[in-house]
Structure 1
Amino acid sequence: MEAQEAKQLIHQFDLRTKHNQMSIGVLATGHVVALYLGQRLPVGTKLGGIITEMGRASYLADTEGIHDFRLEQLPLLYPTFGSSDMRRPALMVRQENGSEVLDLRFQSAQWLDQVPTPAALPALRPMPVAEASGLALTLADEAVGVTVTLFIEADATHDTFAQHVVIKNTGHASLHVTRALSWSWDFLSDQADLITFSGAWGREAQPVRRALEPGLQGVDSMRGASGHGQQPTLVLAQPHADWQQGAALAANLIYSGDFLAQVQVDMHQNARVQLGLNDWQFDWTLTPEASFTTPQAVIALGTSGLRTVSHHFQQLYTDRLLPAVFAKQERPLVINNWEATFFDFDEKTLVALAKKAAAVGLERFVLDDGWFGDGRDDETTALGDWWPNEAKLGGLDHLIGQIKKLGLDFGIWVEPEMVSPNSHLYHDHPDWIIRDPHHTPSLARHTYALDLGRVEVQDHLIKVLNALLDEHDIDYVKWDMNRNLTDLYTPALPAERQGELRHRYLLGLYRVLQAVTSAHPQVMFEGCAGGGGRFDAGMLAYAPQIWTSDDTDAIARLGIQRGTSFIYPPQALSCHVSMVPNQQTGRTTPLATRAAVAEFGACGYELNLLACDETTLAQIKAEVSAYKPLRKTLQMGQLDWLAVYDDRNEYAWQKLDATTLIIDHVNVLAQPNTAMKRLKALALPEDSLWQAADGKIYPAEYLMAVGVAIAKPQGDFVSQRWVFKRVK
């Protein structure tokens, strides 16, 4: 077989959305190639020339025994280890004899009315059959006894693609899967910028942008959680692309644990993009006939700036990921007692705080840490003992009754994945923690991590959490996780299967969450991990909002909320107005600015209303009163970031729905002798008219071309808001 014959397509599969297309080809050799990912092409467009017209540039020529055939030049769809493709594989499987050589070739393809969801993992809800389009593409290595099925979905409504992979052992001996990514795609160019979202506790989701360069680049997590320091997301953008112009592609993993988001640029200026489980310490045993399923990866692309892919993700996750009952429900205004009382509270204090909250118009009272066990008065005790401290509370049901008489919902804080050494749970089950038998387990934040990979631990958590929610009239649960995984060993698995522990922890967590949330569908859950340490799509499948960061300083939150909202819908970002000076930064920010920033997402208050003077309480009441009529637009309206004159000192954004346009602007530091500029709205309906608060009416074209005038701020940290109602 000559090279040109070997590179001929024998199959081409086109998955199409409203504006985009993913095309996959099968060569005469059986290799499966990533042909095209971009704007829709005319139906029936043949793409084989992408392969056959490829110029010669390679080191390993004449591979596969075919003259002038170069596997390492080809854009392979799901590459493996051991062939003459010398780039990073998507899959590695170790056989009994230690060999990791795997040669996958095309076996079959089936068009699907509906793509099945990944087993035991959070994923997008299935689309209606009439809107669904999917492909099950199966590759096999019959010599080893492995089949790999890529389940690929095209969502025409949201202009997105999704993929997960099922690896099956079809042989007679056990195999070890040591790398199994959810998505891999080879682009025949490296002319792009890579954008990732990194940071730390209190500085989550900061965008980092750099041009692709030869070698490996990207982010990952090895903490047992997606992490404060990184997001399971990568973006490729044209070098000139910004929010409003240029082509971009983004990929996000629906998973809450260790991940890898990576781009490899090879010596031929090609870019291999990969996303999935982190293979660090990963080793999954596949017995004969057993299967392993990867998390789902979601891919969005567009040509009208970064805003296009951001909007695709926000709308997709609202419609198909967040729990349906809460996804489009306006979020109540919360008062959380933590910054008001910390551990020092009793029933009288809590009820007094709730009365103040009701008086200023807040709607949900959340009892944070310190309510449970025999005496949870600091961080060192009782975690794991999920029963009310009746003496401290005066009876949980009695407390809930008093708060609900005030017209407030009631919520409660839990941290079920961890246990205090000084607790009944640890005393009864010291073997339930993750620990190595030869070392003293590491305490972190005075806790150990429970071994959620064990069914008996999962069953216990399901039982006690269901009992808590069955026995008490609770409307909301804040689910926290305040440490990462250490001492990684479990007696529940044999030595050769210890590499499964990290992923089994997540599978156990998801089983518990699924069991508890499905048993109590009326209870809203909020995720938290010491702030944004596990803000990811996996958690959003169970918790329709997540605490965005422990840093509640309004100015610091601007960048955190901007980065987090690139993928996730604003109503999923839990944001609170907190005390000043701020605990994390020491900054004193005006209440109006703190409110404007918190109202970006699911707004709440976390300050000591009992210590506020009457003037401050009146200001809070006025803010709350002004917010409620705008809440639907602020939480569910389409988000756009607006161009500002000085992007190092200003943030501006708009929220838009069918009836209302809201524009917010925050100026960080005042500067002398400057003339403030104008803000131009984005993407208003053609020929629409908009009425301002002063009664003036503006055409959409005026607001987009001329904009609104920013008043010169008098002082630092000043915010402004414009509200327009559509009159035509």
Structure 2
Amino acid sequence: MGAHQQLIAVNDDLTQFHLTNRRVSMILDVVEGKLVNLYTGAAVPYRDDFGYLVDDSFRVQATTADEHGEHRIEQLRQEFPEYGRGDFRGSAVTILQSNGSRITDFRYVGYRAVNGKPALEGLPSTYAGTYAGPAAGESGPDGPDAAATTVDDAAATLSIDLKDDLTGLTATLNYTIFRDEPVIARSVRLTNGGDEPVTVERLASLNLDLPDSDYTMTEFTGAWARERTPHTQPLHPGVQSVASMWGASGPYFSPNAILARPGADEDQGEAFGLAFVYSGNFDLHAEVDAYDATRLQLGINPSGFAWRLQPGESFQSPEALLGYSAHGLGALSRTFHRIVLDHLENPRWARRERPILINNWEATYFDFTSDKLLELARLAKRAGVELFVLDDGWFGRGGHARVDDRAGLGDWVANPERLPGGVAGIAEKINAIGLQFGLWFEPEMVNRASDLYEAHPDWVIATPGRASAVYRQQYVLNFANPDVVDHIYEKMHAILSTANVAYVKWDMNRFITEVYDVTRGAERQGELFHRYILGVYALYRRLLAAFPDLLIEGCASGGSRFDMGILAYSPQIWTSDDTDAVERLSIQYGTSAFFPVSAMGAHVSITPNHQTGRSESLAMRGAVAMFGTFGYEMDLTRLGEGELDEIARQVAFFRKYAPLLHDGDLYRLRAPYDHRRAAWMTVSSDRRHAIVGDYVILGVPNRPKSRVRLRGLDEDALYRVTSLSRLEIPDGDAADGIAGAATDGAGVVRGPIPDGVSVVRSGGELMRIGIDDTNIGPDFAARIYLVDRIDEE
């Protein structure tokens, strides 16, 4: 039996579809030509007919029932609701036609069910089975996505065709259900089979009508340096939404949200998660109607969007992911983590350890020489660091040299005064020290003071006749223009093909204003935002096709473009420009709702911190950053021998435990938002090993007793728990567990476990009674617990 037969059951006589994997079910039905959702939630057994779920309740609204005997359209839980047909809630599709009408009537015409999962042309998307990445034949910025349909039983895909007879438009709704995860991927492909062009003004990737509104909605909000803070409120009548109009997913609102039943927490309760595999403008909203039903929609933001679709052309929406959990928010997060690692990121990097790096930015900013870089690299090598990253300031020549943020962007040639041997020369010298070499780019931007701008001022996004806003003395290149993408690709390729560059930090520090595309006519101006991000994706694909071993870290003025779309190309993203350890507790905690530890760029930086002025111990900074992709941003030449030795111990510790930190299941134990305490842990898939980060943010005088309760362990197993006040491999530690740390064998330790001491506790005790952490330190203190199962003789 094929996967689609196992995961997608079809009753052809009744035209009903049941997608299920024993974790989640989605049941679709065709009711008088309209595709409706009868049920989405916890898995239910198959039955021949779910028609009893069609809502026949009476509502006084517009209807065509008198003429056609239809159900009242507003009472149906539609999968593809249209504008102007009697359903007065938000539509999933709006099409402007040549006569000015926006009315369409999409009705069912057929379906296909296949094993595996088709790729989306020109867009990132999840995959199933064997990954066929961008190296497999990318032809150019407008060429097809290289990944092809994967025929594999890891997923099955149902494609349902709906057609509007008057315009000849066909909407193909694609549903992929994964065999092992309670996740359904949803996208829409719109094809113009008519004789006239139309304009697509709105096309939601996902529409889900739920029968009630008894949910809380958690959005992830913030700004630069304080990204992705959870904000939760009950659903209420009307519309509540998060969106972006900045040309990027942005730091202010994240293209992800959680709808949870009241009372749901980390360990119990029902919840849905929505995530957009897209990096541009988005709209995510929940609309509650007068009858307490909820409509969820996620897609490209329709504001400023208008896509001209000629006869014979198609438009593909980005992919939206719908996750489900019957066991709380923690389980929902771990589901999305596995989707990212096993079905989104390039497996070349997804579960492979990344090099521990040092970035020179906070050590030197723009003020550096080759000698200074090499001095930093030698000290980093002594500490065990594996990769040296040269950040901003290495490029531009003469009057356009990048010595500050006023010049040089767009001129991707080495500054000979700073790098006499060019990029190849400094890379060779760094390699000779024993480190890999990485390089910073900001491919999408240009300074007015640059050779590129002087040669091609028309390559900047700007509105004719109007002054352009400027930020950081830079402008946005028009990546909707293939000539621009070609040029930037050629410049980056010239460097990467002649220098041994193992890593690229891809930055993006400015949002799009004065939106106008001088290469296209008036009827195409609504396409720029989307064409721009397609150009970004095309450049990613072309670079990775040419350099398949290249590790790219995404960055956008910190975490301003931290989304599933970028993760398809960059397996790690700089989580925030705020490197303060206390602030990072909140930022990484919120980010973990959808993204795994290994996706979060996290570095130990200088103190006092450059963003907050706060001073924290090196031990605290390391204990926070290790729950991410680990690295350093500091001037090692200013540290004493004791601090350099501690960094060496941190590097050794992280290198040893990185597989557990990155491949383990993440459990959030204490939220940091009360500014008092925080805790989290990762547990190996076999539940034999765990590592816990336990943090004091602000101390409390005469504090009450406190215990941190662990999760994810085997109840009846015995575990040795070793307490550490800093990242340091305990004496006698062996590769397969703690062997020689001091222990209280009889288990008589009372109160917090002393530094360097081990105790033996059962999994049940650790999860239900917990570890006493009342007095583990003052302000800005951390304690690490290594938890290792003891095999009985």
User: TM-score normalised by the shorter chain: which range applies?
Assistant: over 0.9
Deviation string 1:95-123 (CA, Å, 9 cap, x unpaired) is: 00110001111111111223322110001
Inter-partner Cα distance in structure 1 for 2:66 and 2:666: 51
**Matched residue, 2:726:** none
CA contact under 8 A between 2:57 and 2:75: conserved in structure 1?
no
- Aligned residues: CA RMSD: 1.7
Which of 29, 47, 51 is matched with 1:25 structurally? 29
**Matched residue, 1:223:** 246
AA matched with 2:103: V
**Matched residue, 2:769:** 706
CA contact under 8 A between 2:586 and 2:673: conserved in structure 1?
no
In the TM superposition, residue 145 of structure 1 has moved relative to its aligned partner by 1.3
CA contact under 8 A between 2:116 and 2:153: conserved in structure 1?
no
Which of 438, 441, 458 is matched with 1:414 structurally? 441
Which of 194, 197, 200 is matched with 1:171 structurally? 194
CA contact under 8 A between 1:38 and 1:301: conserved in structure 2?
yes
Inter-partner Cα distance in structure 2 for 1:19 and 1:686: 24
**Matched residue, 2:508:** 481
**Matched residue, 1:4:** none
Give the match's secondary structure for 1:326.
Answer: coil
Q: Is residue 656 from structure 1 mapped to residue 683 from structure 2 by the alignment?
A: yes
CA contact under 8 A between 1:644 and 1:679: conserved in structure 2?
no
In the TM superposition, residue 619 of structure 1 has moved relative to its aligned partner by 2.2
1:606-685 aligned within 5 A: 606-643=633-670, 647-657=674-684, 658=686, 659-685=688-714
Q: Is residue 690 from structure 1 mapped to residue 693 from structure 2 by the alignment?
A: no
1:438-457 aligned within 5 A: 438-457=465-484
Deviation string 1:280-333 (CA, Å, 9 cap, x unpaired) is: 010000100110000001111011001121111100110111121011111221
CA contact under 8 A between 2:553 and 2:570: conserved in structure 1?
yes
Inter-partner Cα distance in structure 1 for 2:701 and 2:155: 57
Which of 389, 399, 405 is matched with 2:415 structurally? 389
**Matched residue, 2:47:** 44
CA contact under 8 A between 1:645 and 1:677: conserved in structure 2?
no
AA matched with 1:22: M
Inter-partner Cα distance in structure 1 for 2:354 and 2:237: 46
1:496-535 aligned within 5 A: 496-535=523-562
Inter-partner Cα distance in structure 2 for 1:320 and 1:604: 26
1:240-639 aligned within 5 A: 240-374=263-397, 375-395=401-421, 396-639=423-666
Return 5+ residue gaps in structure 1 as ranges: 1-7
Inter-partner Cα distance in structure 1 for 2:675 and 2:375: 42
Inter-partner Cα distance in structure 2 for 1:390 and 1:9: 73
**Matched residue, 2:211:** 188
CA contact under 8 A between 1:61 and 1:67: conserved in structure 2?
no
Inter-partner Cα distance in structure 2 for 1:180 and 1:380: 40
Inter-partner Cα distance in structure 1 for 2:581 and 2:468: 38
Give the match's secondary structure for 1:339.
Answer: helix
Give the match's secondary structure for 2:187.
Answer: strand
CA contact under 8 A between 1:180 and 1:294: conserved in structure 2?
yes
Which of 12, 15, 22 is matched with 2:16 structurally? 12
Inter-partner Cα distance in structure 2 for 1:45 and 1:334: 57
Inter-partner Cα distance in structure 2 for 1:485 and 1:603: 31
CA contact under 8 A between 2:153 and 2:179: conserved in structure 1?
no
Per mean C-alpha deviation after superposition, the further-off stretch among 640-649 and 482-491 is 640-649
In the TM superposition, residue 647 of structure 1 has moved relative to its aligned partner by 5.0
AA matched with 2:27: S
Inter-partner Cα distance in structure 1 for 2:73 and 2:88: 9
Deviation string 1:393-422 (CA, Å, 9 cap, x unpaired) is: 231323222211222111000001000111
AA matched with 1:690: Y
CA contact under 8 A between 2:589 and 2:671: conserved in structure 1?
no
Which of 86, 99, 102 is matched with 1:100 structurally? 102
Inter-partner Cα distance in structure 1 for 2:154 and 2:673: 43
Inter-partner Cα distance in structure 1 for 2:227 and 2:324: 24
In the TM superposition, residue 391 of structure 1 has moved relative to its aligned partner by 2.3
Per mean C-alpha deviation after superposition, the further-off stretch among 687-696 and 277-286 is 687-696
In the TM superposition, residue 686 of structure 1 has moved relative to its aligned partner by 4.7
1:140-179 aligned within 5 A: 140-179=163-202
Count of residues in Structure 1 that have an aligned counterpart in Structure 2: 719
**Matched residue, 1:3:** none
- TM-aligned CA distance change 1:291 to 1:592, over 3 Å: same
Give the match's secondary structure for 2:485.
Answer: helix
**Matched residue, 1:5:** none
- TM-aligned CA distance change 1:298 to 1:644, over 3 Å: closer
Give the match's secondary structure for 1:560.
Answer: helix
Deviation string 1:611-632 (CA, Å, 9 cap, x unpaired) is: 1122222222222233221121
Per mean C-alpha deviation after superposition, the further-off stretch among 230-239 and 401-410 is 401-410
Give the match's secondary structure for 2:479.
Answer: coil
Inter-partner Cα distance in structure 2 for 1:203 and 1:496: 38
CA contact under 8 A between 1:643 and 1:680: conserved in structure 2?
no
Per mean C-alpha deviation after superposition, the further-off stretch among 616-625 and 63-72 is 63-72
Deviation string 1:169-225 (CA, Å, 9 cap, x unpaired) is: 111000000001100010010110011101000110000100000011010000000
Per mean C-alpha deviation after superposition, the further-off stretch among 629-638 and 466-475 is 629-638
Inter-partner Cα distance in structure 2 for 1:86 and 1:603: 50
In the TM superposition, residue 258 of structure 1 has moved relative to its aligned partner by 0.1
Q: Is residue 58 from structure 1 mapped to residue 60 from structure 2 by the alignment?
A: yes
- TM-aligned CA distance change 1:46 to 1:688, over 3 Å: farther
What's the TM-score once normalised by structure 1's chain length? 0.96
In the TM superposition, residue 57 of structure 1 has moved relative to its aligned partner by 3.2
Give the match's secondary structure for 1:231.
Answer: strand
In the TM superposition, residue 47 of structure 1 has moved relative to its aligned partner by 2.1
- TM-aligned CA distance change 1:116 to 1:64, over 3 Å: farther
Give the match's secondary structure for 1:325.
Answer: coil
Q: Is residue 718 from structure 1 mapped to residue 781 from structure 2 by the alignment?
A: yes
Inter-partner Cα distance in structure 2 for 1:183 and 1:193: 19
- TM-aligned CA distance change 1:9 to 1:81, over 3 Å: farther
Inter-partner Cα distance in structure 2 for 1:460 and 1:61: 55
In the TM superposition, residue 10 of structure 1 has moved relative to its aligned partner by 3.3
AA matched with 1:664: G
Inter-partner Cα distance in structure 1 for 2:672 and 2:242: 31
In the TM superposition, residue 640 of structure 1 has moved relative to its aligned partner by 0.4
User: Share of identical aligned residues, percent?
Assistant: 37
CA contact under 8 A between 1:58 and 1:73: conserved in structure 2?
no
AA matched with 1:684: L
AA matched with 2:786: V
**Matched residue, 2:125:** 123
Give the match's secondary structure for 1:419.
Answer: strand
CA contact under 8 A between 1:117 and 1:126: conserved in structure 2?
no
AA matched with 1:131: A
Inter-partner Cα distance in structure 1 for 2:767 and 2:48: 38
Return 5+ residue gaps in structure 2 as ranges: 1-11, 130-150, 723-742, 744-757
Per mean C-alpha deviation after superposition, the further-off stretch among 57-66 and 615-624 is 57-66
Inter-partner Cα distance in structure 1 for 2:367 and 2:189: 51
Give the match's secondary structure for 1:10.
Answer: coil
Deviation string 1:518-567 (CA, Å, 9 cap, x unpaired) is: 21011100000000000011111111100000011111111110111111
CA contact under 8 A between 1:138 and 1:147: conserved in structure 2?
yes
What's the TM-score once normalised by structure 2's chain length? 0.89
In the TM superposition, residue 430 of structure 1 has moved relative to its aligned partner by 1.1
Give the match's secondary structure for 1:397.
Answer: helix
CA contact under 8 A between 1:9 and 1:26: conserved in structure 2?
no
Inter-partner Cα distance in structure 2 for 1:305 and 1:716: 31
Inter-partner Cα distance in structure 2 for 1:278 and 1:644: 31
